Amino acid sequence: MAKRFTDTEIWEQDWFIDLPNKYKLLWNYIKDKCDNVGIWRPNKSLLQKIIGEPVNFDEFLQFINIEKERLKVLPTGRWWLKDYFVFQYGDKFSPTSQVHKGALKALVQNGIHLNEIFKEGIGNLQTIDFQQLKEIAYSKDIDNLNKTFGNPSLRVKDKDKDIAKDKEERGGTGEKTKGVEFIENFEYVLLSDGTRQKLGLDQKTLASNGDIPPSTIIKGSIY
């Protein structure tokens, strides 16, 4: 089960208060079902079954994007929550972070440059062209990435660290039991104690992209 941060203050924000109830539900559904960088593929027939009444996507987008662009329709037809990455991972970016590097792959696959997310805090990543950014996303030369971009000031909180800390405070995560093999098309990881554990959304993305080995998965840590 994927776990994500949520904004509890949204219920006091005027733009959200003014949404029709069906669009409040739709907004929260998109936040829950989007991928690890905030990208979601619209499915009107499914949504209308869940919400229980017709949904007008054009009207919804007008409501959501009042005052600022919160939701962008990409050339692929997918929708992108523009503030999602910063809210989940922080306002800095480091390509030497495995979580961030996996997210960068998802962004470039959808034609999104980092400068659409960050106005500052990413150093010379701000000015490089899209092709260079794509090469960084798929580079396995960690030493070179550390040398070029490994400034500690660019590193941000990784959600897995916050989740691990939270679980440790609640009694530990079984740190000695680690993953040994990804199974069932990266849906699960086989653990060293013989049990299996379902991967969270971010873990599945990183694993399927080859960004993390099974041994990085700790029993009880799901994100």
What are the extents of the domains in the chain? 8-83, 90-154, 159-216
> How far apart are alpha carbons 130 and 123 in whole angstroms?
15
Give the model's confidence band at 155: pLDDT under 50 very low, under 70 low, under 90 confident, else very high: very low
Q: Which one has a higher pLDDT value, 96 or 115? A: 115
The share of the chain scoring above pLDDT 70, in percent, equals 78
Q: What is the mean pLDDT of residues 55-72?
A: 94
Q: What is the DSSP string of 72-117?
A: EE-TTS-EEETTHHHHHH-S---TTSHHHHHHHHHHHHTT--GGGT
Whether the per-residue pLDDT at 10 is higher than 90: the answer is yes
Mean pLDDT of the chain: 80
What pLDDT is recorded for position 157?
Answer: 42
| pLDDT at residue number 169 | 44
For residue 151, the model assigns a pLDDT of 44
Q: Judge whether residue 22 has pLDDT over 80.
A: yes
Q: How far, in Å, CA of 41 to CA of 137, rounded?
A: 22
Taking the C-alpha atoms of residue 16 and residue 66, their distance in angstroms, rounded to an integer, is 10
Task: Answer whether residue 36 shows pLDDT above 60.
Answer: yes
- pLDDT(144) > 60: no
